[in-house]
Amino acid sequence: MAVSAQRSWQCSPRRARVGPSPCSSEQAGPDYQSFSVGSMPTYSASGRDASGTSSKIDDRTLEERACTSGVGSLRIRGYAAQDKCNAEPEARCDQVRIAGGKVTVTQKGITLKDVAAAANVSRATAARALNSYGYVGDETALRVLEAAEKLGYRANLVAQALRSGQLPIVGFVPGDIQNPFFARIAHDIEVELRKHRHNLLIASSEENVEQEKELLESLRSLSIRGFILAPTSATDSEHIVQLVREGAPVVLIDRVVKEVHCDSVVVDNEGGAGEAVDYLVANGHQRIGLLRDESRIFTAQERLAGYQNSLQSHGIALDESLISVSRSTVEHAVDATIRLFSRRNRPTALFTVDSLMTQGALLGLRSMGLSIPHDVSLVGFDDFNLATFTDPQITVVAQPISEIGPLAAKLLLERLSGKKIAPRHIRFPTRLIVRGSVARFSRR
């Protein structure tokens, strides 16, 4: 917003006024400078205003005439023309900044009180008209709306929501937002929430249970309406139990915690892992390696169980040396893959438990000069974009990821609307997508 320096006139210590002063130049005094706040030209030492009138105002002169002091930032203390010039509506004092001879001003926010005064109604009436509740006459409502538009009023929805305890924000705490699975889930949740005029706040736990506890406590203090959460630990969950016990709407995704009684959306991790190992066994593999993350995570436990159960069902003894544990990052998976395949009696096939580990395995095997599927067959849990760009394309266990986020958001929104029913537990089936990364094993 620009500040235009008008001609000098005698001022009295009242509030600054909007628009050019109605005072004549004869009423002006030499000691004070009045400012007009509005869509006026910005003056500079060598510039001209919109009417072509030369301006010779410099920083020093402006400082002196503003009836105040300071370097680079001045505050108009509320000087206006004499009482007989008080025909213009009053405005709030603004912050003036002087830089290089140019003057700019940041206007303070227009409040509901300002709108009510401009429309000549009470604050309660203005609030009813602007928020469409209660009764307000058509003529009065129109007058309030016109005043709000003229003043540029914007309702502070956050302040209103905090006062009512109904902040339209949902918190999402994924295990690791860098994981493509959680990134896609976050996107889909946000799309669904926006349909219902809610927003999403994302705070990643980084698979750290202590960080998860701190995040939930912080989000709770912000009056977040509800939570969608991927628990970091299947055992250390008292903080989630307490959150639900306090009445906070919670939906768990990807992972569940037995002691927590709330809605959940997961997939058949054990069944999907078992199907992957079954497929490898059907292609003649018995030394099947497993690249997995830490066992405290629910999905890791279920996928490990699927791996073990499949081997057992085919009469294959479990060999712990074929299991390599890694953090769920590409870099750590590369190292874990190299360790596993540096063994003298290495696996003939590998099953990875998520897309980041699959990518790490691809890089690790390539660095060792091992070819897929000629030297090693590979199946990964989770489909991902690069799986179809590699040569050969990667066989994967796919989750219905496009359904998980929207459904979790819908379940939470139903809870927020007051729906009182028993917790719902949705478990989606997985699907094995056969591509080109598995070859039939034959003893050479």
Residues 390-422: tens digit of each pLDDT: 999 999 999 999 999 999 999 999 999 888 899
Closest CA to 243 of 221, 263, 216, 223: 216
Residues 6 or more apart whose CB falls under 8 angstroms from that of 286 comprise: 316, 348
Domain identity same for 250 and 274: no
Q: Is residue 128 part of a domain?
A: yes
Q: Is residue 160 part of a domain?
A: no
Domain identity same for 180 and 61: no
Q: Supply the pTM of this predicted model.
A: 0.65
* Cβ proximity of 101 and 44 under 8 Å: yes
* Cβ proximity of 32 and 65 under 8 Å: yes
Number of domains in the chain: 4
Domain identity same for 280 and 393: yes
Domain identity same for 142 and 180: no
Closest CA to 277 of 303, 297, 301, 299: 303
Q: CA–CA distance from 145 to each of 92, 136, 139, 330, 388 (Å)?
A: 20, 12, 10, 56, 56
Q: Which domain holds residue 122?
A: 112-155
Domain identity same for 305 and 321: yes
What SS3 class is residue 104? strand
Burial 195-217 (b: 16+ CB within 10 A, else e): eeebebebbbbebebeebbebbe
Q: Is residue 130 part of a domain?
A: yes
Q: Which helix (H) or strand (E) holds 73?
A: strand 73-75
- Phi, psi at residue 202, to the nearest 5°? -105, 130
Q: Is residue 60 part of a domain?
A: yes
Q: Is residue 433 part of a domain?
A: no
Domain identity same for 395 and 299: yes
CATH code, 147 = 1.10.260.40
Tens of pLDDT, residues 115-131: 999 999 998 898 888 87
Domain identity same for 299 and 416: no
Domain identity same for 21 and 100: yes
- Phi, psi at residue 139, to the nearest 5°? -65, -40
Output the pLDDT for position 154: 78
- What are the residue ranges in the chain where pLDDT is below 70? 1-108, 132-133, 156-166, 443-444
Q: Which helix (H) or strand (E) holds 248?
A: none
Q: Is residue 162 part of a domain?
A: no
CATH code, 173 = 3.40.50.2300
Domain identity same for 262 and 276: no
Q: What share of the chain is helix, strand, coil (3-state, %, to 5)?
A: 35, 20, 45
Q: Which helix (H) or strand (E) holds 426?
A: strand 425-428
